[in-house]
A and B are shown apart, each in its own frame.
Chain A
Amino acid sequence: MSIKIAKAADPVESLRAALPDALLDTKTFRDELTLIVKPESIISVLRHLRDTPGLLYNFLSDISPVDYYNPQGGYDGRPERFALSYHLYSMLYNRRIRVKVFLPEDDPRLPSATSVWPAANWLEREAYDMMGIVFDGHPDLRRVLMPQDWNGHPHRRDYPLGYEQPMFSFNVEEIAKHKPFAKE
């Protein structure tokens, strides 16, 4: 029995042909290919990359959020404040790809990828917990690392390093009196 394996295809061309509106830009740095796509079409892009013969990016390695906040203003040359990178891996063709979306500061929100990969569940919970990005249609969008009643999202660049929220409030003044807080 011989199995016919489709030849590896170029993800950029394939995506341009199938979803012409979704792809905004591509970038290659140190041999890593990044596709910048529209947030609202992220699910169809991920499905296309996963299921098209010749691409078959069948493994979700990571969902990495990043914050381009700059205290001096602006987003360091990026169109929006937040970005989210899906790192996919194709086991058959042994290559990686990064799918990146930019999300606005006031309402970072995009559809959840849990329907494409169950593995996205906790990765998205972490992105929500740490960066405050909301995933529509996520089955269980609770915080995963921080306590449920925590204020703020610690990995945002404007979240101070060195201050601490009181978890037990009965003697909070007493503790604060003796605590050396970091000074900016």
Chain B
Amino acid sequence: MSFIVPEKDRSLTPGSGDGLESWVGSVEELRGLVSDRALTGETLLLNMGPHHPSTHGVLRLLLELDGEEVVTCLPDIGFLHTGIEKNIESKTYEKAVTLTDRMDYLSPMSNNMVFCSAVEKLVGLDVPPRAQVIRVICLELSRIASHLVWLGTHALDMGAMSVFLYCFREREKILDMFEMLSGQRMMGSYFRPGGVWRDLPADFLPTLEAFLDDFPRRVDDYEKLLTNNPLWIDRTQGIGIVEPEEALALGMTGPTLRGSGVNWDIRKAMPYSGYDQYDFDVPLGEHGDVYDRFYVRILELRESMRIIRQAMKAIPGGPFRSENRKFVPPPRAELGRSMEAVIHHFKLWTEGFSVPDEEVYVAIESPRGEIGCYLHGTGGNKPRRVRFKTPSFMHISALGKLCQGHMIADVVAIIGSVDIVLGDSDR
């Protein structure tokens, strides 16, 4: 897709006639994708993005408009394609973790988690209980952080400026905690195959406690601004409705699917990292519209807090990373005492560990939905194929269906409500 100027308007294009037609494509390329009315110029083709502020990154939509009503919506992605999957094929498994951070940059921990789980499953590596609980705390904190960015930007798209500022204030506290853990605010690469990079620092839990004491009040504030706000309700209720069957057929997952009332949360259905030990509810919507998807995420903020509170009380002692020295490098202190540790250290940091020539598929519940990792080893130290099935990719593919028949202003609301991250979809 390169064009937009219809054939008959070519004479209006600056520079037409002097050899530059090649970059003004023909609208003929779109035959079959847009309605025939667009080919005659009866409806308007409008390009939205990739630099439009409400497309949450670099999403481009080609809209066919009849007046202000959307007839067809063709999403176009790939502007943020960075070849992460291809790059991982040239890296050892431990090095690849840092690349996974950069996919869904609003919740890097989920990407780390799905990749590490896939590696652990493929080689049969254990994760000690302490590491599992630390992982749950981090995953839920990133769920909160990610939902906060979503809430702020979604509200901003529809004109509620102040929510954005409040949400980012709280998110910053979570990023500070991530910095405490990993040394980085966002791209921490804190999860490693077999556990986490290091143990919880001494001041982490008190900081977390203070955050949890403060945060419920903040969620109440967001709700005060939005939940019963008539302007917000007018803009969101009855917009972008997806029926449950349709949502499943379109491959929707996560809060977007649950907004339509389908009770599927991988944390409950196929618990990983000990999620079955915590008591939490899965909020469900009823109508499958923008408002229900919004409210499901608000409730998820509270459920995540519940999980973190339980996890904090239940942190067991013991190692924070597997003791299997064939896959996990020994701590620095051991190198001075043990020859074996030196050998393991050397082997793991020069060539990494070998993985069987087999395949696994692991899926976890990221803040956006099901993120899956299909990992195929070669028998050597580098993967044959890593594929990430990302929720944003599936949700963008469904956007066309969701936007049909709505106004342009509602398109903005719908994009916000499915919560896409373009780094996640383009990888």
| Partner-B contacts on A (CB < 8 A) | 29-30, 32, 34, 58-62, 64-68, 76-77, 85, 87, 91, 94, 96, 98, 117-119, 121-123, 126, 130, 139-140, 142-148, 154-155, 157, 159, 161
Contacts and interface: CB of A to CB of B under 8 A. Distances in A.
Contacts of A94: 269-270
Contact of B86 (A68, A77, A121, A154): A154
Contact of A119 (B1, B251, B269, B372): B251
Interface string B395-409: 011100100000000
Interface stretch (B40-48, B166-174, B381-389): B381-389
B393 A117 contact: no
A122 B85 CA distance: 17
B424 interface: no
Given A61-B251, A62-B387, A87-B389, 11 more contacts: A29-B359, A32-B361, A62-B372, A64-B385, A66-B374, A66-B376, A119-B398, A122-B394, A130-B85, A146-B81, A148-B2
A84 to B, nearest CB: 11
Chain A facing B: main interface SS: loop
Contacts of A32: 360-361
Contacts of A139: 32
B397 A121 contact: yes
A145 B103 CA distance: 14
B116 interface: no
Contacts of B361: 32, 61-62, 64, 85, 87, 96, 98
Chain B facing A: main interface SS: mixed
B90 interface: yes
Residue among A59, A87, A140, A147 with most chain B CB within 10 A: A59
Interface string B37-56: 00000000000000000000
Interface residues of B, number: 47
Residue among A30, A60, A96 with most chain B CB within 10 A: A30
Given A62-B361, A87-B361, A148-B1, A67 B389 contact: no
A161 B89 contact: yes
Interface string B363-379: 10000001010101010
B78 A147 contact: yes
Nearest to B124: A30
A64 B78 contact: no
Contact of A144 (B77, B248, B264): B77
Residue among A32, A64, A126, A146 with most chain B CB within 10 A: A64
A142 B393 CA distance: 15
23 contacts: A29-B360, A30-B122, A30-B124, A32-B360, A58-B248, A61-B251, A62-B374, A64-B385, A66-B374, A66-B376, A66-B384, A85-B359, A91-B264, A94-B269, A121-B397, A140-B32, A142-B1, A144-B78, A145-B427, A148-B1, A157-B89, A157-B384, A161-B86
